[in-house]
Amino acid sequence: MSAIPEIQRRRLGKSGLVPTVLGFGGISIQSVPTGEAVPVIRGALDAGINFFDSARVYTDSEAKMGAAFRGRRTECLIATKSLARKAPDIRRDLETSLAELGTDHVELFQLHNISRAEELEEVLAAGGALEGALRARDEGLCGHVGVTSHNVNVAAAAVRTGCFETLQIPYNIIEDAAATSGLFRIAEGMDVGVIIMKPLAGGALDLARPALRFALHPLATTVIPGMVSQAQVAENVSALADPGPPAARELQALRQSAASLGERFCRRCQYCLPCPQDINIPQVFICATTATWRGEPERARSMYERLMTPASDCTGCGECEERCPYLIPIREMLAEAAELLEKQPGR
């Protein structure tokens, strides 16, 4: 058996936490049954990964992590987050998260998806979510308080307040504004630790090695791809065993892969849910991309037939598009998916 490469660690800004440069993102594990998810999470621990990110809104992600951490709590740094904007609500979410995770504290508690200026104002105001999070920190329920965002301008404003110890932001070959806008430099100047989410663009990028090496910016601390199998854990660990930028040939292949995606693609963040018609929007788009990008139409239709609600049940209410941080035309894409996946082959 080959030795598992040791994963490097970096300081997470003024929080003083020292996570591995490869963390474990908690969105994807929702799609895996608990009996399969727990060994994957424990496999990540076995591989040396020590940073695990979840959220109250990630359905059973916290519960699966809690089951996996049983007896191994000292090996991991746990981060979770809440979409609540008021102090009482964020306190309630944190207490629920602690119960699901089976712990009395988390190392990092984050205000989740602060992506509009008015949301930042709301959480910073008296009685807002920040007040509740800081009170929880003072009581020992969380060690540090951070913020996550999908908007570099709002993220920069949040960092400049000096209220947060960490920032979680998307960064990948397609979404590179965190670097080009100067956000990373702003965070560095405030000693705010940077956590990179969506390093594989929500799973759209299948070249894991160059994608992860690109996403691990020198001014970032850790990248947190989702992982749903031991094979993915091993692949990601291998990719960052010796952190550094992708080689020229790898970067060229990665740029070609990114160009093939265009701008209309789902990052599987699931903020569009719940759908009033119970359409599993991200899963519909996974089926569509399986048929198109991956060239497996029969497998795509088989996957699609197992969904509870077809894309054609969309009523066009638009609630999903109001919640989508990437502003993709979900209704239009659902209609295209229905045409692609519900029509009879050969017609």
Domain residue spans of the chain:
13-258, 281-342
203-213 pLDDT, tens digit per residue, is 788 899 999 99
Collect the ranges in the chain with pLDDT lower than 70: 1-4, 294, 344-347
| CATH entry 3.20.20.100 includes domain 13-258 | yes
Tell me, what's the pLDDT at 4? 64
pTM of the model: 0.86
**Mean predicted lDDT score pLDDT of the chain:** 93
- What pLDDT is recorded for position 201? 87
What pLDDT sits at residue 142?
98
Q: Tens digits of per-residue pLDDT, 30-84? A: 888 999 999 999 999 999 999 999 999 888 999 999 999 999 999 999 999 999 9
Report the pLDDT value the prediction gives residue 102, as an integer from 0 to 100: 98
In degrees and rounded to multiples of 5, residue 159 shows phi and psi of -60, -45
What pLDDT does residue 134 have? 98
